Amino acid sequence: MKKVSATLLLISICSAGLYAQGLGFGIKAGANFANQNISGSGSFDTKMKVLFHGGVFVTVMFSEKLGVQPELLFSMQGCKYDITGYDGGLTTNYLILPILVRYNINDMFSVHAGPQFGFLLSAEEEFDGDKEDIKDDFKGSDIGLAFGLEADLIAKLGVGARYILGLSNTLDSNGSFGDAELKNGVIQIYVKFRIKNSN
């Protein structure tokens, strides 16, 4: 149901683009400064892990100031931890769909915020040098809230920063983590290239 809702919402936004003042698109890529908050039974402290994200974006402007910006990105998320002297970590790869309201402060800066839907591609745990596939311990989807700031620079280049707050428990209650809860938190720093401007 979540996948269907996200798809229908994206189709509605794309259809609205036919009536918009400006339609643009481009590509973006950058670093994920990711962490995961694990609580409940068997909880432990985690540390930030630097990973990657990248994909495409579309800007649909309804006026000079206001529009929407849906994106489709590959995003690596996860965390590192140290338990009784052993190094470990989690890496979860998602296909994410942020659907953001965009507000242009001026010709250079814009702010954006909105929901993000994530669809799990893979999950892996590394502990004391050994790796294990743990995808079955995770739910197939994740919901978060994204908000950030972008700056359009010279030519078609721009940069941005974003924070994504995970809202849902991504662990399957029937998995090996028991009744523990895991929520994602990601800071994204990225460079974007506008193939077509929204004007």
Q: What are the distances in angstroms from CA 190 to CA 9, 57, 129, 150, 166?
A: 25, 12, 30, 9, 19
Give the single-character DSSP code of 59.
E
- Give the pLDDT score at 155: 81
Write out the two tokens for 36. Answer: 């995961």
Question: 162: domain CATH number?
Answer: 2.40.160.20
Q: What is the pLDDT of residues 50-89, one digit of tens each?
A: 999 999 999 999 999 999 999 999 999 999 987 777 788 9
Write out the two tokens for 98. Answer: 């942020």
From first to last of the 199 residues of the chain, give the pLDDT tens digit: 555 555 545 454 454 444 456 889 999 999 999 999 888 766 678 899 999 999 999 999 999 999 999 999 999 999 998 777 778 899 999 999 999 999 999 989 999 999 999 999 999 999 877 899 999 999 999 999 999 999 999 889 999 999 999 999 999 988 777 788 999 999 999 999 999 887 5
- Give the pLDDT score at 75: 98
Cβ neighbour number for residue 25 with a 10 Å cutoff:
18
Q: Containing domain of residue 132, as a range?
A: 2-196
- Give the pLDDT score at 18: 46
Write out the two tokens for 62. Answer: 């309804």
Number of domains in the chain: 1
- Give the pLDDT score at 173: 83
- Give the pLDDT score at 13: 47
